[in-house]
Amino acid sequence: MRKISIYFVFVILYLLTINDNALSFYCSNKLVSIGDTVAEVTMKCGKPFWKEQHKEKVVTDGNTDKKYIVTIIVDEWTYNFGPQDWLYLLRFENGKLVKIETLGYGY
């Protein structure tokens, strides 16, 4: 019974590590988390390896019966920390970090 429990824990831990979306990651010893601003991430990690910016139109309800179309500014930054670490793709919407994606090992 104990072996099954330990095996189950290892399987769960493995599945958690293969998820390509993260809630946070470390730049050196500084924690970058969802909700950080562009300025905070820049102070923690420096300039990204690559960055792109575009606008997207999204539909929002504004907590009412009416729907609104709003334009948001989307920044996508890639950090490449070398072949011994991960590539990270960060998505900012209107200056706030909303998604962290791991892309595999850097180069």
pTM here is 0.74
pLDDT in tens, 7-27: 655 545 444 444 456 899 998
Nearest-CA neighbor of 78 among 60, 104, 57?
Answer: 104
Residue 32: exposure state from Cβ atoms within 10 A (0-12, 13-18, ≥19)? buried
Give 102's contacts (C-beta < 8 A, 6+ positions apart): 20, 21, 22, 25, 86, 87, 88, 89
Place of tokens 């990270």: 88
Residue of higher predicted confidence among 9 and 94: 94
